[in-house]
Structure 1
Amino acid sequence: MSERLVPVISLRDFNTRKEEITQQLINAAEHVGFFSLIDHGISTDEIEAQFAISKTFFNLPAEVKGKTPHDPTTNNGWEYKAQLRPSTGLYDQKESLWLQRDSSWPADADVPGFHAKTTTFMAKCATISDQVLSCFALALNFPPDHFQIANNPHEPDCLTQLRLIHYPPSENAAGTWRAGTHTDIGCLTLLFQRDNEDGLEICPGRESHSGFATSDVFTPVPAETGPIVVNIGDMLMAWSDDRLKSNFHRVRAKDVGISAARYSIAYFNQARREFVLQGPKKKYPPVTVGEYFAQAVQRNFGAMGGGGDAVAV
């Protein structure tokens, strides 16, 4: 398996280094579609605290987790091994809790401090996202706040979500897919991982946001507590006239031995349903975010079976 490095980008002194950071982000987005952020403003302790909240929730009995049921019309709530992946024809081997600002949340009586701590964590994710997206707006010759307005989580039509994810330990699953090959439909994904809970693999190679072309070479991305692994989604690829790459990724079980439990947290910038997106060169006709999602779901889950999805790993 050949090495394909994920660039590491520091957000330290963001306001004074914005031009330099923008160049680094664009280079990563154009050539890899993934990058790792450090010096981003969320401490390792804060990340571990959010993972502790996640583990407390997933350790609850199913009937308690089920008090926040998954709603297929909004894609919010708790689901357990319920996601059928077109790329494999199998259900992903994980459970997850999808959350939006105004969706149903677990009660603090079941997970103490859940709402306040998770809301604070989401706000910090939004701040980091705004920084990255302002750089992309600058490089694409949009107004500086273009993507920030489009992804404002305080607007009632914003589709942005946080997803807490748990992969239970698996035996005799060498080489199988804990999460099958897919891309993210949305704009920009922030992924938090924990030390030694590996499995994420990436595979650059797409040339258009609606294509399924990919190479056969996947590269592992070691899990580490602290850095945020960020990837471009299909929507931002379309929004950039295919300049910024939304590439395939998966979570794979170990080739040898038992795959231990894996936890991850994903923050999806999915933009506002009524916001109209179109690239600076107008390669594609204008479309609302809601219309884009509907088209992407049909395209990705249709007969081609290539493996696009609105989820992270």
Structure 2
Amino acid sequence: MGRQLVIPAISLKAFEARKEQITKELVEAAEGAGFFTLVDHGISVDEINRQFAISEAFFKLPQEVKAQIPHDLYTNNGWEYKSQIRPSTGQADQKESFWLQRNSQWPSDELVPGFHDATKSFISKCEQISKQVLACLSLALGFPEDHLNNAMDVEAPDNLTQMRMIHYMASENAVGTWRAGNHTDIGCLTLLFQRDGEDGLEVCPGRESHNDFAIGDDFSPLPAHTGPIVVNIGDMLMAWSDDRLKANFHRVRAKEVGKSPDRYSIAYFNTGRRNVVMQGPLKKYPAMTCGDYFLQKTKIQFGHNFNKQSTATT
């Protein structure tokens, strides 16, 4: 492994008064590592721990109960179990996850006490943090300040922004394997919450194009901590920025020695609305809708399931 990649920590404290400085720090990180952490963001450690407790409670339900809200390939919502096969490995990620949107089907509070109120509050806070970052990036790219936020309006009926609760199952025999294989994120901007001691995330810089599938071998670990939010650029925003902002490859690696314990993470994916037309300021790529872009990328990651699901629903 080469030199340690620097993932900067950026404070959102006194956001309006410090917006120019924050924008400078965000753009520098987005043009390089494509990753940064946010601190002073307004979500307390207690709130983060509460959402993780809800996530654990959901994943502890029997599989037949979780399967009552199955993953739908066309909405990308619902529960999936080891169904995401990465092109980089040809193998399924060793995890289960539950994707949800504001208006998708959620588990009832009878199944997971407190799910609705806590999760709605958590999502609302993720929305506010995302709006701050996206406003800064819009200005830096030469767009109006509200350009990206309007394109990701979560109250619009065609919105694609989602939260994903993730559970990597404990394994005695995971040494040298990928709990999540090398990949980039599909959408624009990801907010990732991790917990102390549940390490494994590694980042590889150097991607030049949002269509580039070449993966380097210079990965750096990004240790897990409760509190700071790990943020990374996704493919959609890399294309939207004419490849200026980098959606770099990352993975979740098993421990090199001994048992890999359970790992939980929560990701909030900001994604352009289905009917919004995206194109960079330099028009490096043809204009296309976010919905078409999203479906193309989803089929790459989950495409092996499309025929199975089509057969099951006809």
TM-score, L = length of structure 2: 0.94
Matches within 5 A, 1:84-103: 84-103=85-104
Is the 2:85–2:301 contact (alpha carbons within 8 Å) kept by the matching residues of 1? no
Is the 2:83–2:302 contact (alpha carbons within 8 Å) kept by the matching residues of 1? no
Deviation readout 1:89-134 (Å, 9 max, x if unpaired):
1111001110011111101100011011101111110100000000
- Partner residue, 1:83: 84
- Partner residue, 1:134: 135
Q: How many residue pairs were aligned?
A: 302
Q: Could you say what secondary structure the match of 1:135 adopts?
A: helix
- Partner residue, 2:230: 229
- Partner residue, 1:161: 162
**CA positional deviation for 1:85:** 1.5
Task: State how far apart, in whole Å, the 1-side matches of 2:57 and 2:300 are.
Answer: 37
Matches within 5 A, 1:143-154: 143-154=144-155
Residues 296 and 97 of structure 1: is their aligned pair in 2 closer, same or farther, counting only changes over 3 Å? Answer: closer
Q: Which runs of 5+ in 1 are unaligned?
A: 303-313
Q: Does 1:251 align with 2:252?
A: yes
Q: Could you say what secondary structure the match of 2:16 adopts?
A: helix
Task: State how far apart, in whole Å, the 1-side matches of 2:194 and 2:10 are.
Answer: 17
Q: Percent identity, aligned pairs only?
A: 67
Residues 59 and 301 of structure 1: is their aligned pair in 2 closer, same or farther, counting only changes over 3 Å? Answer: closer
Q: Which amino acid aligns with 1:152?
A: D
- Partner residue, 1:305: none
- Partner residue, 2:271: 270
Residues 291 and 73 of structure 1: is their aligned pair in 2 closer, same or farther, counting only changes over 3 Å? Answer: closer
Q: Which amino acid aligns with 1:252?
A: R
Q: Which amino acid aligns with 2:280?
A: G
Q: Which amino acid aligns with 1:260?
A: P
Superposed structure 1 runs of 4+ greater than 3 Å apart: 294-302
- Partner residue, 1:196: 197
Is the 1:209–1:246 contact (alpha carbons within 8 Å) kept by the matching residues of 2? yes
TM-score, L = length of structure 1: 0.94
Q: Which runs of 5+ in 2 are unaligned?
A: 304-314
Residues 245 and 77 of structure 1: is their aligned pair in 2 closer, same or farther, counting only changes over 3 Å? Answer: same
Task: State how far apart, in whole Å, the 2-side matches of 1:22 and 1:286 are.
Answer: 26
**CA positional deviation for 1:298:** 5.6
Once the two structures are overlaid, the 10-residue window that deviates more, 287-296 or 200-209, is 287-296
- Partner residue, 2:107: 106
Q: Which amino acid aligns with 2:135?
A: S
- Partner residue, 1:34: 35
Deviation readout 1:8-33 (Å, 9 max, x if unpaired):
10000000000000000000000100
Deviation readout 1:255-312 (Å, 9 max, x if unpaired):
111111100000000110000111111111211101222343466789xxxxxxxxxx
Deviation readout 1:37-71 (Å, 9 max, x if unpaired):
00001001000000010011111111222222222
- Partner residue, 2:308: none
Task: State how far apart, in whole Å, the 2-side matches of 1:298 and 1:55 are.
Answer: 28
Q: Which amino acid aligns with 2:164?
A: R
- Partner residue, 1:20: 21
- Partner residue, 1:307: none
Deviation readout 1:123-154 (Å, 9 max, x if unpaired):
11010000000000111110111111011111
**CA positional deviation for 1:195:** 0.2
**CA positional deviation for 1:212:** 1.7
Q: Does 1:61 align with 2:62?
A: yes
Is the 2:84–2:92 contact (alpha carbons within 8 Å) kept by the matching residues of 1? yes
Q: Could you say what secondary structure the match of 2:179 adopts?
A: strand
Residues 209 and 130 of structure 1: is their aligned pair in 2 closer, same or farther, counting only changes over 3 Å? Answer: same
Q: Provide the alpha-carbon RMSD of the alignment.
A: 1.3
